[in-house]
Amino acid sequence: MDVILVVFSVLALIFGVYWYFIHVPDYYGYITKRGEDMKKYLSPDELLLLSKQDHEDIWILDVREEENFLLGHIPGAKNFPHDKVDQWYSEIPKNKKLILYCDLSLKTQNVIVFLEEKGYDQMLNWGKYKRWKFDEVVEETITI
């Protein structure tokens, strides 16, 4: 009986890992109805160029947890954690174009769906932070 339980537990664990890491849909490249012109920033090279420019009309949003943001993020990105979207969304003017990324594009997509329901319509799901292949990374330290 114990062997069957162990085998079943291992199979459930393997299936869970598969489902979480492999089967998670990738929403990379999703754009909202008025976000078509932002597709050019899908390329890491183009986003790097954008991050080096002064751009008041476009915000780069990192929706990962704050501790991950502090370990490194795309230059110019603002941290708005996905699990607190209902607390921070009103800080973003609706006329801004938003490029969002996280550690899984699914979290970003959940934020985009929430923001669409609130009237935001110029957004791009840039995908996963690990797509950022450049040395240009901002690291911050926490002072206590």
Q: Domain extents for the chain?
A: 26-131
In this prediction, residue 99 carries a pLDDT of 96
**pLDDT, tens digit (0-9, with 9 covering 90-100), for 90-104:** 999 999 999 999 997
Residues in the chain: 144
Q: In terms of DSSP bridges, do strands 78-79 and 97-102 run parallel, antiparallel, or are they unpaired? A: unpaired
Q: What is the dihedral of CA 79, 83, 89, 92, to 10 degrees?
A: 10
The ranges of the chain with pLDDT < 70 are 1, 16-26, 139-144
pTM of the model: 0.78
The CATH number fitting domain 26-131, selected from 3.20.20.70, 3.40.50.300, 3.40.250.10, 3.10.20.740: 3.40.250.10
Tell me how crowded residue 74 is: count the other CB atoms within 10 A of its CB.
24
The angle at the Cα of 48, spanning 74 to 118, to the nearest 5 degrees, equals 60
